[in-house]
Structure 1
Amino acid sequence: MEQFGNLINVATPVVLCFYSENVEDSLKMTPVLKEVANTLKERVKVVKIDVNKNKTLCEALEINALPTVLIYNKLSLIWRGEGFQNSNILQMELSKFL
């Protein structure tokens, strides 16, 4: 959990996408996340987290659907979305904090 704290303790908003290679909608998130990262560049940090390799973290954050996208800003959860999210939705939520 200390690593998670370090991950979200940065000056920019952080987009976390919890995914599994076995879930089709999770795979559809990859180009969306790349688009967000490319569009917003250094103003946002985008991280994919494999639920199969991070079970303790997923339990702590109550990740029950895949994909799940969390957006943190200044250590606080500011947005949560379950299921596929398009880049427009993510960028609209992020724009409130940029």
Structure 2
Amino acid sequence: MNRILSIKILALVMASLGSSQSCLAQKTKIQGNTEINASTNNTTAVAVGNNVVAKNRVGVIQGEKKGNTRINVSAANVTTVTTGRNKKACTNIGAIVSDECK
């Protein structure tokens, strides 16, 4: 059982290393009416290394916001994994966040 779990985790890590993207902080300023409809299924973020960050954000507004906001999110099987040295793992689903993953 542990061997199967280890193999699944290793396969997950190897798959994510092939399609990694850099996460750059961007400022968002919204002043009007906003409606976000988002849905996801089987979403995974994995980070392995020294200064690692793994983020999953679904239907999220970051930064300044004025006015009405409506966020509808449907999320299932969301996994965020991190290993290494300076670890960070963040999962935000259907939220208004004011800061970066810390």
**TM, length-normalised to structure 2:** 0.28
Relative to its length, the structure with more helix (as a share) is 1
Relative to its length, the structure with more strand (as a share) is 2
Higher relative contact order (CA 8 A, sep 6+): 1
